[in-house]
Amino acid sequence: MKIAALQMVSTPDVTRNLDCARRLIAQAAAQGAQLAALPEYFCLMGRDDSAKLDRAEPAPECDADGGPIQRMLADAAREHGVWVIGGTLPLRCDDPQRVRNSNLVFAPDGRLAAHYDKMHLFRYDNGRERYDEGRVLEAGTAPVAVQCGTLRVGLSVCYDLRFPELYRALMNPPCDLIAVPSAFTQTTGRAHWELLLRARAVENQAYVIAPAQGGTHENGRRTWGHSMIIDPWGDVLGVLPEGEGMVLAEVDAQRLAAVRRELPALEHRRLG
């Protein structure tokens, strides 16, 4: 299956971001992709944390109609006949002062196939940069994997990448592909992004698709970009350093089977 990691430099304007996402999904489909993955916060990089609260949509379990962001994802999946891993969008929760940072997956017929809420919330302070997602986000509680055609896909988001136990939980049964839509900061991305992605691919013997935010945003934030696709041996199949665009690669079932057969590390686990 050909897959596409879509990279964006999202803005505070939801309409502009949705137009960009729709265009990238169309371009990926035109190049033969059967699965396209958007980055974290593809729909909104607000000027402050309150923007997430203002633009939050109802969870699909509560309102089948969702909202304009969810409708765009469903419509794009249906129009182009592709699986869409919808980056993340803010969904309302019981606490009116918080939202969930949610990853929704839509099938080629436009139906909602999976819903994962980011479990690990980022906090960082080096004296110059300060982030604390817990101020406005409520953490998710459960791992989620979804069958996307022939691929079993494990879902995760950005800071989840630093917690290998999440991915071990997703490997029963093993996933073929791990999705990591992200908006890594430039500081942490330069240091750890590729290192962590390749580690997750190698230790779980799975392909990894990592669509990212990549550039300087209108709110002043700078994200690391370097969207990439990695094979189960840890080889980087493609990378886009910065700016809007995509990375395309094939998930090769024979390659996946060979890696697991020649070095059956997943069978050798003693914990988890």
Looking at the annotation, which residues are catalytic?
Answer: 40, 118, 158
What is the number of alpha carbons within 13 Å of residue 229 lying toward its C-beta? 23
Number of helices (H), then strands (E), belonging to the chain: the values are: 6, 17
Q: Give whole-number Cα distances, 49 to 117, 132, 138, in Å.
A: 18, 10, 13
Q: Which of 123, 73, 134, 136 is CA-nearest to residue 103?
A: 73
DSSP 192: H
With both helix axes pointing from N to C terminus, report the angle between 68-80 and 14-30 in degrees, rounded to the nearest 10: 10
Amino acid at site 244: E
Tell me whether residue 247 is exposed, middle or buried, using C-beta atoms within 10 angstroms of its C-beta: 0 to 12, 13 to 18, 19 or more: buried
Q: What is the Cα–Cα distance from 173 to 272, expressed in whole angstroms?
A: 12
